[in-house]
Structure 1
Amino acid sequence: MRITDLNIDGFGKFNDLSINGLGEGLTVLHGENEAGKSTLLSFIRRMLFGFPDKRSKCNHYPPFKGGLHGGRLSVYGDDGDAYTIERYAKDGLNVYLPDGTIKGEAELGKLLGNADKDVFENVYAFGLDELQDFNRLNGESISGKLYSAGTGIGAASISSIQRFCDTKKGDLFKPSGKKPLINTLFTEINNIEQNIKDIEDGQYTYDLLHSDIGDTEKKISELKEKKSALLEKQEHIKALLSVWDDWVELQIHASKLEELPKLESFPENGLNRYESLKERIKDIDESIAELNSSIERNRTQQGNIVVDDLLLAQKDVIFELGKGVGKYGAEIVELQDLKVSLKGEMKRLGGMLQVIGPDWDEGKLNGFDISIPAIDDVRKRHGELNDLDGDIRVLRQELKSIEDSISKKDRTQDAVYGNILMQRSAILNMADRVVGYRSNAEQIISHRIKLDGKKKELAHLLGDIGSKWDGSLLENFDISSSVRDHVSAMKDGFNDAELNIHDLEAKLEWLKNDIVRIDGSIDEIDTKINAIDIHIPEAELHKMLASLKSLQSRYSSLKEKEIDLKSLERDENFASMMGQMPVATNQKMPIWPSGVFTGMGVAGLVAGYVYNELQGGIVACIGLFIVAVIYSVSVRNAGKSATLPANDVGGARSGTVKEQVVQEIRSIKEQMLADAVSCDFEDVPERSILEARYDELKEYALGIRSVSELRLQRDGFEKERLASSEQYVLLESKLNDMGEFYREIQAEWKEWLISCDLDADIASGDMPDKFALVREGKDKLAFIGEIQSQLLRCESSVEEFEVDARELLDRCELENSGRSIDQDVLKLRDDVNAEFAKTGKVEQIRQDLDELVARSELLTVDLKEKEAERDIVLGMWKEWLAKYDLSSEMTTESILDIFTSIRNCYEVQDKIKDMSDKIGSYADSITVYENKIRSVLDVCERMESGLGFDTELELLRDDVEKVLSEKNRLDALILELDGTVFSLKDAEGKHLGYLSEMSVLLKEGLSETEDEFVSNVKVWDELVRARSSYEIAESHVRKLSGNDDVHLMIVDELNGSKFDVLKAQEVEVVGLICEIDDELESLSDEKGSIRNQIRHLEGYNEGSALRLELESLKERLNERSREWATYSVAQHILSKAMERYERERQPDVITEAQSFFSNITGGKYERLYSPLGSSDIFVEDGAGKRKDIIELSRGTAEQLYLALRFGFIKELGKHSESLPIVFDDILVNFDPVRSRNAISSINELSLSNQVLYFTCHPGTVDMFRDVVPDVRVVELSKL
C-alpha cells in the first residue's frame, strides 16, 4: 500500500490542506519548527488506526483553524486499485472502494495486512522517541505479527489467538472464581451432596413438627376472626370520621338558611349581566364622544391638504426619467474619464512616434508598409547580410590561422634542433609527470569548489547558531555531556516553572471566579432577606399562631355544643307537643309511634291519589314523615340516658343539661374572644377569615424561617469567601515567588547564552537543535580543514612541476606559445621524438610552407568575392531605406524593432478611435436626457435651479412622492370619514338598546333602582351558596348511610358522638389490629419454618433424583474440564511454536538488519548477534570485538535500532502487504558520513516500500539530494 494524497479538513494547525501526488519511492517533506511535521505524522496514524478516546491524555490535535476534525487519505493497494480512507472524530470511518462501495474497519484491515497500531507506530511510522526505545520492538503485537506473517497464517493474529484462549479458559475456570462454569458446577455438586446427607439425618423430628403446625394454625384462625371484627369496627369509625366535617357543615348551613331573607327568584347570572350592561353603556357613551371628535378632526385635516395637479399629471414621465438617472450619472462620469483617457492616449501616441524617430507623425505612420511581404523582405535582407558577414568572418579567421602557421614554420625551420635533442631525457621525464600534474590541477579545482561550498554551508550554519559566531567560537564551544546536562536541567527548570505558573494562574482565576460567585450568592441572599418584611416579633408570632390554632379547634367544639343545645331545645318542644305522660324512670320510649306516623303518611298519599288530590296527599305524607323522623331522633337521644323521665323529673334534668351546655358555650366563646383579641381581632371572626389569617401568619412564619435559613446560608458563604480569599492571597504570594524564580532562571539563562556568544532570545527548548547545529558545524569545520590540507599538498605539487617545466623550456630556448605549460611540455616531447625519429624534417617544413601560401592566396580571392557581394546587398538595403525616407545608417535589426513599435502605435490609434466614438455617443445620450427633464419642468411651470439635471430630477421625484402621499392621505381621510359617520349611527342605536335591556333586568331582579338590584344580588348569592353547601353536605352524609333507616341511624349516631372520642376509638382499634398483625406474622413465620423442616425431612423421596442430578453435573464437569484442557494445550503448543520460530526464523530479521547496520556504520560493525533464548542484541566489529547495546554511543545505538526496524520491515514485507514508512527527523544524532549512509539505506528500502521523511534541517534535505539526486522534496511552508 502507498499513500498518494493527504486531504486534511481540520487537524491541529491545518485546515483544508492537500498534499497531492506523493510518489512511490522516497519523498522528503521539509519545514521549520512548528511547520506541522509531527501533526502530519499523527494525522496519518489517526487516519489508519482511529482517534484516541477523549479521556486519553495524548494530544488530540483539535482543529484550531476550523473544519471537521479529520480528513482523507488516497492510497493504492497492493492489488493496484485506488482506495480512499475517510475518517472523522465524530462520524467514524469510511473506506471507499474502486467501484464506489463504502466499507469499514474490515476492509481497512485488509489494506493494512491486518497490521495493528503498535506494529505501524513502532516499525513503520516513528520519530526520534520511538527510535530510542528498543523495548517497543519486543512487544507482543509486533512479535505476533511477525510470527503470523512468517508462518503464512495471513490475517490471523497470534496475540488475538492467545487472548481468545485466555478468555475461553477464564469463562470455564478460575482458581478463586465463582461465576466461571466449572466453578459453578463444583459449587452445585457440593450443595447437592450436602442436601443428600441432610435428608438421611432428620427423620426423628418429623412427627413432632406435624403436631406443632396444627397448634399454630389454630392460633392463626382465632386471631384472624378477632382481626376481622376489629376491621369492621375500624371501617365504621372511619366512615363516621370521613363525614364529620360534612355533618358540621350541614348544621351550619341549615341555620344560615333560616336567617337569610326569602327571595323566590332572581335573574340567572344577574350581577354579571348588570355589570356587563353598565360597562357597555359606559363604553358606548365614550365611543360616541370619540366618534364625534374624530369626525371634526377629519374634516379639519381634509381642509389642510393641497394637491399639485400639474405635477401629479407628469408622475409617470418623472418616474420613467428616474429609472435612467443612474445611466445618466454614469455616462457623465464615463464621458469625463474618456476625455482624460483620450488625452493620455494621444500623448502616449506622440511619445511612441518620437521613440521611432523625431520626424515621425501620424501621416508617416499610416503611410509605412508593415505588411507581411515587407517584413519578409527586411528579414531576407537581414539574413543575407548575416550570412555574408559570417562567411567573411570565417574566411578572415582561416586566413589569419594560415598566416600564423606560415610564420611558425618559418621560425621552426630556423630552430636549432641539436639543443632539444641534448635535453631529450629531461623532456621525457617531465612529460611523464604531466599526468600527475593534471590530476593535481583537477583536484585543486574540485577541492576549491568543495571548500567554497562547505564554507558557505558553514557560514549559513553559523548564522543559524548565532549572529556573532565564527569558526573560532565554533571550534572552542563545549558540547560535552556536562554542558548538555546543564542545559537540560535549565530547560526542565523552565518547564516546571512555566507549568507551576500556569497552574497557579489557573487556580487564581478559578478562586477569583469562585469569590465572584460567592459575592453574587451573598448579594442574592441579602436581596431575598430585604424583600421579606418582618414587622411582627417571632415570639409574638408563635403566640398568635397558637391562639389561631386554639380558635380553630374551639370552633368545632362550639359548633358541636350549639348543635347539642338545638337538639335539647328540639326535644323539649317535641315533648311538649306530644303531651307525654310521666312514666317510670326505667321505662324506655317506644319506637312504634314512628312507624305509625310513617304509615299514616303513606295512607294519606294513597288517598290523595285515589280521590284526585295528589298534591294534598303529598303534603300530608311529607309532614307525617318529618314527624316520624323527629320522633325517631328523640327516641335515640333519650336512649343515651337509658330512660324517659316523667314530666316533673325530665324537665328538671333537661333544664340542668341545657344550662350546662349554655355555660360551656359561653365559656368557649369567652376563650375564643380572648384568643381573637390576641390575634388583633376585635371580635371572634368568621371561620373563613380565621383560616385566611392563619394562612397569612403561617406564610409570615415561613418567611421568618426563610430569613433564618438565609442568614445561616449567608454565614456559610461568608466563611467560604474568607477561606477562598485567604487561599487566593496565599496562591498569589506563591505566584509572585514563582514569577521571581522564573525571572531569576531567565536571567541566568540569558547570562549563559551571552557568555557563549549566543542570541539572548534563544529558548531552552531550542538548544538541542543548536547543539545539533554545533555538532554539524564542528564536523563541517573538520572536513574543511581536511580539504584545505589536501589542497595545499596539491598546490605544492603543481607549483613544483611548473617551476621545473619552465626551467626546461628555458634551456630549450623556446618562447611562450600561449598554451598551458603541460601542453608545451607534451608538444616539446613530440618535437624531440620527431627530431629523434626523422632527419628530413626541414624539407617537410618547406613543402608545408608552400601549401600554406597557396591556400592563403585562394582564401584571399574568396574573401574579396564575398566582400563585393556584401556591398551589393548593402546597396539594395540602403535603397529600401531611402524609399521610406529612413536613415541610411539603420540596420535590419532596428527596422524589425520599428515594425513592432509601429504595430503598437496602430493599437493606440484604434483605442483613440474607439474612445472618440464613445465620447460622441455619450454626449448625444446626455443631451437627449437633459432635454426631457427641461420639458417636464416647463409643463410643471417650474424654473431650473441650476443645480444640475440629476438634482432637478431628484427634486421633482421628491415632490411627486409628496403629492402622491398627500393625495393618498386625502383619499384615506374621505374613506375614514364615511366609516366614522356610519359607526356613529350604529353606536347611537346600540346605546338605546342597552338602556332598554337595563330596565328589563331591574324588573326581573324585583328592584326599582340599581342599588336595590345590587343588594338583592348579594342576598341571592348567599342563599344559593348556603343551599348548595347544605345539599353537598347532606349528599356526603347519605353516601355513607344509604337508605332512609340507615341514614336516620347514622344521623342519630353522629348526634350522639364527639370527634375526639371517635379519633381515640380509631387509634385504639388500629393499635389492636397492629398487635394482631405482629402476632400473625410471627405465627406465619413459625408455621413456614415448621413446613420447611417437614419438607426437608420429606426429602427422602428426593434422594434418588438428587443422586441422578449429581451424576449429570459430574458428567458436565468432565466435559467442561476437557474443553478447558483443550484450550490450555492449544496455548502451550502455540507458545512452543513461537519459541521455535523465534529460534529458527529470528536470524532472518537479524540478517536483514545486519546488512543495513553494516552499511550505515561504513563497515565498522560487520555482524549482529542474538543468543538463543534471549532478546538481547550484540554487535561485532571487524576485529571480532563484541559489544552490548549499552556500550554503544547514543548515535550508534539509534543506528542499530533503525537497522533492526529495517530488518523487521524487510521480513514482514516478504509475507504481508507492504506499508508506507514515515520517519520524523530520525537522523539528528547521526554524523554526516553515517547520515549519508543511512540515507542510502532508506533509498534502498524505498524500492519496496513508500518512504516519507519529515525534517526541519535544510542540511538534511541537501544531503538527501546529494545521495538521491531524483528525490522529491515537498516544502511545507509553501502549502
Structure 2
Amino acid sequence: MRFVRAKLFGFGKWVDKEFDFNASPLFIYGENESGKSTLHQFILFMLFGMQPKERKFYQPKMSSKLGGQLVIEDPKVGTYTIERFDDKHNGKAVCFTSSGDTYDEAWLKERLQGMNLATYEAIFSFSALDLNAIKQMQEENLGDVLLSIGLTGSSNIYELEKQLDNRLGEMFKPYGKNPAINKQLQVVEQLGDELAVIQKEESTYRKKVLESLELEDTLNKLKRQQANLTGEIRTVTKKLTALPVLKEFQHLNKKQEQYETTYNFPANGIARLEKLHDALRPLESELAVLQSNEENYRDNASQLENQRLAESTVETLKIQRRHKERYTVLKNTEENLYQRKVELTKKITNELTDLQLKIDAAELQDLSLPFYIEETWKQIKADKEKLEQERISLETEKNGLMEEENYLQAKLGEIKSTLLPEEEVASLKRKLEKGKEQEQLERLYEASMNQQQSFAEDKKQRIKRANQLFLIGIILAIFSTVLAFGMDVSLLYGAALFLFLLATGQYLFHKQHVKAMEKLIRSQPGVSNAQKLSVEEVYRMQSQLEAEDEKLRELKAVQSDIQKQQINILKWEEKERMYLEKVRRLTDQTEEQLMLYPFLEPINSSYWPDYFNRIKELLRLQNEWDRLVKEMEEIQMEEKQIEEELITYLHQFGETSIGSLAEAFLFIEQTLEKEVELEQRINQIHELIDHTQEQKENMLKRIAVHQQELAELLQQAQVETEEEFYKLANYLTEKRELEAALEANKQQLDSIFPQHSWASIVKEELDPFSLEERAQALESLAATTETEIDEIQKKLTEVNMELKRLEGSDAYSSKLHQFEMEKEKLNQLAKDWAIANMQREMLAETKQRYQKKYLTKVVEETTTILHTITDGRYTNVFAPKEKGTFQVMSAEGLRFNVNELSQGTVNQLYVSLRLAISKVMTEKHQLPFILDDAFVHFDELRVERMIRVLQEIATKQQVIMFTCKSDVRTVCERENIPSVYV
C-alpha cells in the first residue's frame, strides 16, 4: 500500500491544498510552525479518524470545512480514495474505488487489516518526542525500555509491566503490613474475636426465641379452629334463614321430573309460522292480478300488428328516404361549389391585374411551368447579383492597384535622387579601413611595451630562482658525497651525481627560456607615422555608409514591390476576362427564358423567382376552378336522377297526386313515422308482457321459498300438521316456565350461599329444630376457644417483651454486619489481586512468545541499520538476556552496555530498532512509514547515512519524512532526492 496524493479542503492551517506523495522516499521540508505535523495528523485522520474534541482542535480559521481526501494505491483492490469530513457521516470515512464503487469505514479497516492508530504509530511512525521519552528514563532501566520497543514498537509494555508490579506490591506482600490485603486480614481477624465474645451472651436470647415461636404456632392453630367454628355457625344460620327457599327448590325440582321428555322444536316456532302465513297471503293475491294483466296486453298487441305495413314496403320507403339525405347533401355541396367558383374567378382576375402580365384566362389554362424552371430563374437571379458584386469588386481592385503602382514609382524616384555617387562611397570605405588598421597597430605596440616591462621583472625572479635551485642542488650533492664517503655507501654517490645533474639542468633550462622570451619580445612590430582618425570622423563615416546601405536595401525592396504589383495587374486583367465571359453566358440564358415565356419580357430577371411562385399559385387557382365546374355538372346530373326515380316509385305505390320532390319526401316521412309509432307501441306492450312474466316468476319463486320454509319448520318440530305443531308448542312453553322458576330459585340461593355451596344442602333432610340445636352447640365451643386464645396471647406478650429487652442492645447484629462487610471487602481485594497477577503472567507470556517470533529478525535488522548509521563503528547488537541490558559490539570487538553509550549513540540505536521493526512488520502489513523530525539530534554526516538507509527501505516500502533540518534538505538537493518545501 502507498499514498498517492492528499487534498486538504480544510485542516489546521491548510485550506484547499494538495500534496503529491508519488516519490519514495519523499522528504517534506519546512521551518517550525510551517504545518508539517498538521499534514502528518491529517494523514492519520484520513486513515483512522479522530474524536470530535480532537477534530475541533484542527478546525481551520479561514474555512468552515474540516476534512479532505487521501488517494491510496493498493495492490489488491487498485487505486481508491478515502474521503472524510467532520460534518458528514459523523466523521466516518467514505471510500471510492476507481471502478465507481462506494464503501464505508468497515471496508477501510479491512484494507488496513485491523490496524488501529496506536499500532500504526507504534510500528510505522515515530518522531523526536519518542527520543525525548527515552531520555527521561533512568539509565539502569534503559535496556528494558529498548527491549519493550523492540518487541512492540513502543514503550507501552515497559510502562504496563511497571504499573502491574507496583499494583501487586501495593495490594499484598507475604510479610508486609502496609499493603491493602494485609491490612484487611488484620481487621477481619480482630472483628472475628470480638464476635465470639458477644455470641456467648446470646444463649438466653435463643431460648426465648424458641418459646416465642412455639406460642405463636399454638395461637395460630387456635385462630384457625375459631375461624372454622365461625364459618360453620354462619352456614347453619344461613340454612335457617333460607329454609323456605330451599323447600321451594326441592318442590320445583321434583315437579321437573314430569317434563323430562325432550322435543326438537324450532326457536320462536309459533311466531315464525304466523309470519309465514302473513307473507304468503299478499303474494298469492298479487299473482292473480299479474295473470289478468298479461292476458289484456296480449290482446292489444295483436290488434296493433294488424295495422302495420309489410316489412318489404317499409324497407323500400327507408331506402327512398335516404335519397332525401343524399339530395340535401348534393344541394349544399352545389351551393358551396358555386360560391367557391365565384371567389376563384375574382381571385384570378385580381391576381392577373396585380401582376400586370400580358396573359388572359385561356392562355393561363394552356400555360405549364416545369419543376426545374424555378431553380433556373433563381440561378439567373443569383448569377446576376453575383456578377454585379464581382464588377464592383473588380473596379475597386483596379483603382487600388493603380494607386499603389503610382505610389511605388514615385518612391523609387525619390530614393534614387538621394543616393551618393559610387566613387564617394568607395573613398569613405578606404579611409575607414586605414583608420582601423592604425588603431590596431597602436594597441599591439602598447601591449608589447607592457609585456617587455613585466618580462624584465619576471626575468630577474626566474634568474634568482634558478640560481637558488642550482646552489641547493650543489650543496645537496656535496652533502651526499661526504655522507657516502663517511658511511661507505656507493648508492649515495649516484644520488649526489643525480642531484648535481638535476641542478645544472634546471639552471641551463631557465637561462635558455629567458633568452627565447627576450628574442620574441624584441621582434614585436613598430607603430606607423600615419595620421590617426578621430572618433568623430570614424563615427561620421560609419553613419554615412550605414545610411547608404539602408537606402540601397530600401531601393531593392521598392523594386521588388513594383514587380509584385505588375504581377497583380496581370492577375486583375485575367479576372476581368473571366467576368466578361460570365456576363455573356448570363445574357444567353436570359434570352432563352424570354423566348419560352414572353410574358416575362417587361419584368426584371431579378424578380423572376418571386413571379414564379405567384404564377404557380395562379395555375393552381385555375386548375381548382376547372375542377369545381366539373364537380357542379356531376352533382346536377345526380340530382335530376334522384327526382325522376322517387316520383316514379310513388306513382307505382298509388300516390299519383304527388308531383314534386318535396311532396314525395313529406309523404315518405309521414308514412315511416306512423310505422315507427306502431312499432314502438307494440314493443312497449311486449316489454310489459315480459315484465309481467318476470314478476310472475319472481312471485312464484317467493311463494315457493315461503312454502319451503313452512315445510322445514314442520319438519324441525317432527310433525306433519300445523295442529300438532301448536300442541307441541304449548308443552314446551310450560316446561320453559318451570325451568325459569327453578333458575330464579337458584339465583336466590346463590345470593345466600356463595360458590354454589347450596347444591349439597338441598339434598339434605332440612329440619328447623335440628338446625337450631346445632347452632347453639357451635356457639358454646367458639366461646371456649376464644378464652384459650386470650390466655396464649397474654403469655406470648410477656415472652416478646423479654426478647425486646434483650434485643435492645444491637452489639451482636452490628458487629456481625461489620464482620461480613469487611470479609466481603477482603474477598474483593483478593479477586483484584488475582486478576492483576493473571494480567502480569499473561503479559510476560506474550512478551516471551513475541520475542521468540520476532526478536531475532528485529535484532538482525537493527544490527544492519546501526552498522550503516555509525559507518561501521558498531558491528553487532545483542538483545538483553534475563535481567541484562542491550549490548553493542564495536569494530574493535569490544562490547558496551546501553548505559555505557553516549546519548547520540543511544538515539541511533533507538532509531535503528524502530526502522528494523517497521521492516519486519512490513512483511505482514504493507503500510507507508512516516517520520516526523526523527533525526533532529543527528549531525549532517549521520543524516546523510540515515537517508541512504531510508532510500534502501523505500525500495520495498513507501517512506515519508517531515523535517525542519536544513541538513536533510542539503543532502536531498545534492543527491537529487525528491523533496517538497512547505
The normalised TM-score by structure 2 is 0.32
The normalised TM-score by structure 1 is 0.25
Larger radius of gyration: 2
